[in-house]
Amino acid sequence: MLNFLQRIRAHKIQELQTQMQRLPLAELRARLRDLPPSRDFVAALQRPGVALIAEVKAASPSAGVLRARLDPAAQARAYARGGAAALSVLTDQAFFHGALAHLTAARAATSLPVLRKDFILSAYQVYEARAAGADAVLLIVALLEPPLLRDLMALAEALGLAALVEVHTPAEAEQALAAGARLIGVNNRNLHTLQVDLGTAEALLPQLPPTVCKVAESGIATPADVQRMAAAGADAVLVGTALVRAADPTALARALVRAGQPHGQGVTP
């Protein structure tokens, strides 16, 4: 039986072939002409304490449908009011019920920089991200051979996009560093099994050099979780499911941001 990452890869390859026939690369690249400058994703995370990357997503393979009638713009505005430093938007349709249109809507609703969170295997998807308004792209080391990782990082930089390079193991962290990554996310979720363990970030974040901007991803739901990631050395946390499910996402975002500040212990939503 294929594990989750293998299923994703197989589906994305088919999806890409269909999309590239629908919109050829030359036409896609033409859409990038005269776009306004991207927003500085990395600079947004370089603030005192632990910055919050708040995620917009309708569903996930592990949790199912999170919000049946997701309004990406309203969700983004709620996060901005709560003090989020940046947004992450799921654009995968098959597994997360996302769309590039969700990213475009969320970005238009606030002044925050936006990450395209998807399973990127091709330069085509990086061009897609820029055309849709993304300011950063997620590059998952477990999906990419080292030469392709370096090529996609270089393309992202050329297009004015930050590359959040995601790792889950020490070996993947070494690959990210060898490729020159300066923005690294440690995913607490094993993408092969979908199991979550905050100890993953606690083990890997201290091993990353101080020149790297460090992001803890997945399984973070409470102020106490943010404090754990802060203690491990995170510069930012990426939070999705808890915020999308929250009755008051602004209040939860505010509590998570406060928990990441120095002396923020004991903050509750």
pLDDT tens digit string along 38-66? 999 999 999 889 999 999 998 777 777 77
- Pairing label, strands 136-140, 213-217: unpaired
Q: What confidence score (pLDDT) does residue 2 get?
A: 58
Q: Does residue 190 carry a catalytic annotation?
A: no
* Rounded Cα distance, 188 and 124, in Å: 28
Q: Does residue 128 carry a catalytic annotation?
A: no
Q: Does residue 166 carry a catalytic annotation?
A: yes
Task: Work out the percent of the chain whose per-residue pLDDT is above 90.
Answer: 83
The residue from 187, 190, 202, 214 that is catalytic is 187
Gap between the terminal Cα atoms of the chain: 41
Statement: 4-30+40-259 belongs to CATH 3.20.20.70: yes
The residue from 38, 60, 190, 218 that is catalytic is 218
Enumerate the domain spans of the chain: 4-30+40-259
* Rounded Cα distance, 112 and 81, in Å: 11
For tokens 């080391």, the residue is 141
Q: What confidence score (pLDDT) does residue 265 get?
A: 44
Q: What confidence score (pLDDT) does residue 268 get?
A: 40
Assigned token pair, 16? 């890409």
Q: What confidence score (pLDDT) does residue 263 get?
A: 67
The average pLDDT across 124-137 equals: 98
The average pLDDT across 114-119 equals: 97
Read off the DSSP letter of residue 123: H
The residue from 117, 128, 172, 214 that is catalytic is 117
Q: What confidence score (pLDDT) does residue 192 get?
A: 81
What are the pLDDT digits (tens) for 56-94?
998 777 777 777 788 999 999 999 999 999 999 999 998
Task: Work out the percent of the chain whose per-residue pLDDT is above 70.
Answer: 97
Q: Does residue 117 carry a catalytic annotation?
A: yes
For tokens 């309708």, the residue is 58
Q: What confidence score (pLDDT) does residue 262 get?
A: 83
The residue from 12, 38, 55, 214 that is catalytic is 55
Q: Do residues 210 and 234 touch, judged by C-beta distance below 8 A?
A: no
Q: Quick count: other Cβ atoms within 10 Å of Cβ 9?
A: 14
* Rounded Cα distance, 98 and 67, in Å: 12
| pLDDT class of 269 with cuts at 50, 70, 90 | very low
Q: Does residue 218 carry a catalytic annotation?
A: yes
* Rounded Cα distance, 36 and 70, in Å: 27
Q: Does residue 3 carry a catalytic annotation?
A: no
Q: Do residues 151 and 123 touch, judged by C-beta distance below 8 A?
A: yes
Q: Quick count: other Cβ atoms within 10 Å of Cβ 172?
A: 19
Read off the DSSP letter of residue 162: E
* Rounded Cα distance, 218 and 144, in Å: 20
Q: What confidence score (pLDDT) does residue 160 get?
A: 97
Q: Does residue 202 carry a catalytic annotation?
A: no
The residue from 12, 88, 166, 190 that is catalytic is 166
Task: Please tell me whether the overall predicted TM-score, pTM, comes out greater than 0.75 for this model.
Answer: yes
